[in-house]
Structure 1
Amino acid sequence: MKILVVGAGATGGYFGALLARSGEDVTFLVRPHRAAVLRARGLRITGRGEEWTLEPRLVTADELTTPYDLVLLSVKSTALTQAIEDIAPAVGPDTAIVPLLNGLAHVEALNASFGAAPVLGGVAKVVTTLSDEGDIVRLAPLAHLTIGEQDGSPSPRVEKIRAVLTEAGIDVLVPEHVMASMWHKWVFITTFGAVTSLMRGTVGEINAVPGGADLGPAVLAEASAVSAAAGHPVPESERAATLGIVTATGSPMVPSLYRDLIAGRPTEVEHLFGDLVARARTLSVPTPLLDLATLHLRVHQERVSPAGA
């Protein structure tokens, strides 16, 4: 299978590296700066007992000329518009696109650009980050992908993709309704992001102060209510898992959105939070805490990346 991985960051780089190491025909679409880093150091995976490097096949947008069988799209939402334009030459009549962004707006954007037929639903759950040197650091054991047709129908191409990913050592789930899985991941990431961003602290720091342990459940209740109103109630097992993460005593955990916030970098506020609270208004679901988190992140966004600048 001819595979294009769009983005060689903490998520796409990790799964793409596993595919390349297994012998699949993998090419990474990267920006010139990232290409220079990877050519100099290789694509390095470290952490959790892993320590290996591969020499990735790289391509920049101007070098794409032919279609691929599978496009794994793993970019920040702020880079989505450009990425859609860049991958156009790589999308042919038989191409499958698996987006690994959080939220839902990217699926709508891909459908608008390429039609719904090539676009699958996708969820990535992996705890990785980029080091200052550009290496991919694995921070926790969790690492699996969820894929499926948008309409939930059984699909030979999904089974083929699952087989390729599994052969590479990637845990893959194919649920009956992948769009529900995307909603449920959205609930988790906005809950985790809102709690840590509003309080400017780790989970452990928040839960160590009086009243701190009440915040996570309150935000989760709001996000879950939006998902339920949209027709995708969060299973109790997933609610419990999220509660366990955001109320854990002494936990050093923070999401990547928080790391971007603290570092003074732009965040995915509109894609993750703005879109969710807008849907909440349409569905008549009150979300005061999520509204506050959205406002907080918008102020930060305007400070570091002013509109129209």
Structure 2
Amino acid sequence: MRILTVGAGAVGGFFGARLAAAGEDVSFLVRPARAKALRARGLRVEGQGETLRLTPRLVTAEAPGGPYDLVLLSVKATALHTALADIAPAVGPDTAVVPLLNGIAHLDALVTRLGAPAVLGGVAKVVTTLNAEGDILRMAPPAVVLTGEVDARPSARVDAIRAVLAGAGIDAPATEDIVAAMWHKWVFISTLVALTCLMRGTVGEVNAVPGGAELGTALLAEAAAVAEAAGHPVPEGERAFTAATVTTPGSPLTPCLYRDLVAGAPTEADHVLTDLTGRARALGVATPLLDLAALHLRVHEGRLAAGR
């Protein structure tokens, strides 16, 4: 299977490295700065007992190659439209595109640009980050990719993709409804984002003060209410996992969006929180805490836009 991984950052670089190490035909579509670093140092993954050292096959937007059998789209939402323009020439009539972004708004953008037949749903569950040298650090055990047809029908191409992922040591369980799974991940990440960004601290720092644990559970209740109103109620097990994650004493956990915020960089706030709260209003669900978090991040984005 010919695979294009769009982005070689903490998520795409990790899954692409796993696939390449397993012998799959993997190319990485990267920006010039990332390409320069990867040519000089290689693609490295470390942590949780894993060490990978690869010389990745790199392609650029000017010559993406293709068509590919599988495109793993792993970019931040702020780069989505640029990435879609870059990969469009590499998508053929039999290409399957699996987006590994948070939220669900990107599905419409993919269908508009690439056509509905090419687009699958996707969820990534992995805890990785880039260090100062650009190496990928794996900080916790999960290495999961969920995928499926957006209309939930059985699919031979999805089965084939899942088999390739599993062969690279990536958990890829069958998913009955991938759009529901995307909503459930959205509830998790929006709760975590709102908590850490509103309070400007790690999960552990928030829970170390009176009211911290109560805030996490209240944010989760709002996000889960939106998903339920949209027809995708969060299973009790997943809801309990999210509740435990955002109320763990001493946890150093922060999401990537929080790290972008404190670094003074653009964030995925619109894709993660503004879209969710907009859907909440359309569904008649009150989300005052999530609205406050979204407003907080919009002020940050406004400062960046004004050059401050």
TM over 0.5: yes
State the distance in 1 between where 2:16 and 2:160 align. Answer: 17
Aligned-residue offset at 1:306: 3.9
Structure 2 SS opposite 1:209: coil
**2:179 matched to which residue of 1?**
179
Structure 2 gap ranges (5+):
none
**Is the CA contact (8 Å cut-off) linking 2:59 and 2:65 kept in structure 1?**
no
State the distance in 2 between where 1:18 and 1:306 align. Answer: 41
After TM superposition, which residue ranges in structure 1, 4 or more long, deviate above 6 angstroms?
A: none
**1:145 matched to which residue of 2?**
145
**TM-score where L is the length of structure 1:** 0.98
**2:263 matched to which residue of 1?**
263
**2:195 matched to which residue of 1?**
195
Letter in 2 for 1:185: K
**Is the CA contact (8 Å cut-off) linking 2:166 and 2:172 kept in structure 1?**
yes
Letter in 2 for 1:38: L
Aligned-residue offset at 1:66: 2.9
**TM-score where L is the length of structure 2:** 0.98
Aligned-residue offset at 1:65: 4.1
**Is the CA contact (8 Å cut-off) linking 1:123 and 1:181 kept in structure 2?**
yes
**2:115 matched to which residue of 1?**
115
State the distance in 2 between where 1:123 and 1:173 align. Answer: 11
**1:77 matched to which residue of 2?**
77
State the distance in 1 between where 2:142 and 2:115 align. Answer: 32
**Is the CA contact (8 Å cut-off) linking 1:28 and 1:57 kept in structure 2?**
yes
State the distance in 1 between where 2:33 and 2:78 align. Answer: 17
**Is the CA contact (8 Å cut-off) linking 2:17 and 2:52 kept in structure 1?**
no
Aligned length: 308
State the distance in 1 between where 2:174 and 2:302 align. Answer: 39
**1:232 matched to which residue of 2?**
232
1:281-292 equivalence runs, <5 A: 281-292=281-292
State the distance in 1 between where 2:237 and 2:144 align. Answer: 17
Deviations 1:151-174 (A, max 9, x none): 101100000011111111111022
Deviations 1:206-245 (A, max 9, x none): 1111111100110001000000000000011111000000
Letter in 1 for 2:27: T
How big is the alpha-carbon RMSD for the aligned residues of Structure 1 and Structure 2? Answer: 1.1
State the distance in 2 between where 1:64 and 1:78 align. Answer: 20
Structure 1 SS opposite 2:271: helix
**Is the CA contact (8 Å cut-off) linking 1:3 and 1:72 kept in structure 2?**
yes
Segment drifting more, 46-55 vs 68-77: 46-55
State the distance in 2 between where 1:229 and 1:115 align. Answer: 28
Aligned-residue offset at 1:116: 1.3
Aligned-residue offset at 1:264: 1.1
State the distance in 1 between where 2:246 and 2:51 align. Answer: 30
Aligned-residue offset at 1:175: 1.0
Deviations 1:156-214 (A, max 9, x none): 00000111111111110221101000000000000000001000111111111111110
